[in-house]
Amino acid sequence: MNHHQALKQIPYLGNGLGFRSELKSFTFLNRDKISFVEIIADHYIDAPGSKMKELERLMANFTVIPHGIGLSLGTVSGLDEGYLKKLGELIRYIAPPYWSEHIAHTRAHGSDIGHLAPIIYNNAFLNVLGANIEQVRQEIPYPLILENITYHVDLPGREMSDAAFLNRLCDLTGCGLLLDITNLYINSRNMHFDPYAFLDQIEHKHIVQLHYVGCEDDGNQYTDTHARATQAEIFELMEYLFRKHMPKAVLLERDSRYEYTEEISGDLIKAKELLQHVRL
């Protein structure tokens, strides 16, 4: 089975929540709204026994999708092999239907950025990603989907639009797309492009999963704080996409202000209703 066929075999997972330890009780008490969870893979690498017990409990109750943040697929000098090996051990242990990483780099030789930084949307970086993903596949034989990030620096040397780059990347590598619809919304605001045109240009067959959460606007820039209730404009983008293509999974990615459980519940209910409404 080739990579594209493997993506087609991914089951429908529905409405999920990004699991965080702070949301442990909430996650188990709201199983009617949560049909799968995504974990940050890095939290369970070289982790103490209590974290691994937490993972086992999650695996016993939900489909668990590992989401990597530290692989740095866009690093030109190549991957950290020690990290890749440990990530591979974790993912083989979970044996998920697929896993995900970002189209970004978090380090360059001599510099550890510590967060997701953008790459240039050009052919040279398509080759960098292609080579790194090929290496990843030798270690991790599970379908990989790639997430678009927010970018505040428009790096010189761009050769194609966001949608064209993502289409070519998925065609070239056989990876699926984890479309972060909030990141799309943020980038469209900060870089002044039409997010609906993006949704028309992106090849829908690539989209396996969505991420969504609220964002912040400081009057100058929109940022992905993952700390707010999802804005109506973002749900409207989701609905627009759902009418053209239904992803296998949709996930709320909240990383802060966990005590506002009504906001989190509200977002999960809206997404679930949207999924059911459009599927009918």
Partner 1 sequence: MSIEDKQVIVSRLYTDETYLNRFLASKERFFAEEQILELDTRSFLDALKPEQLRFFANNLRAKHYHETLRLIPLTHYVLEKDIKDRFREFSLNPGKYGIHRTHEEALAFLTFLQQSASHNTFLQSVLRFESAMIQHFLHPVAYKPVLFRYNVFDMLVALRLGNTPSVRKGFTLLIFRKDKPPKVFGLKA
Interhelix angle 81-94/123-139, rounded to 10 degrees, is 60
Question: Which residues, in sequence order, are CB contacts of 104 under 8 Å at separation 6+?
Answer: 72, 73, 74, 116, 117, 118, 119, 149
CA distance 135 to 77: 13
53 touches partner 1 (CB under 8 A):
yes
Q: How far is the CB of 122 from partner 1 (least distance, A)?
A: 9
Question: Which of these ranges, 58-66, 92-100, 115-123, 130-138, lies near partner 1 under the rule CB under 8 A?
Answer: 115-123
26 touches partner 1 (CB under 8 A):
no
Nearer to partner 1, 34 or 147 (CB): 147
Question: Which of these ranges, 4-12, 147-155, 180-188, 235-243, lies near partner 1 under the rule CB under 8 A?
Answer: 147-155
48 touches partner 1 (CB under 8 A):
yes
Cα 77-81-86 angle, rounded to 5 deg: 145
Quote the distance between the C-alpha of residue 115 and its chain's center: 14
108 touches partner 1 (CB under 8 A):
yes
219 touches partner 1 (CB under 8 A):
no
Both tokens of 123, joined, read 């052919």
Residues constituting the chain: 280
Binding site for partner 1 (CB under 8 A): 42, 45-46, 48-50, 53, 70, 75-77, 83, 86, 105, 107-115, 117, 120, 124-125, 128, 152-157, 220-221, 223, 256
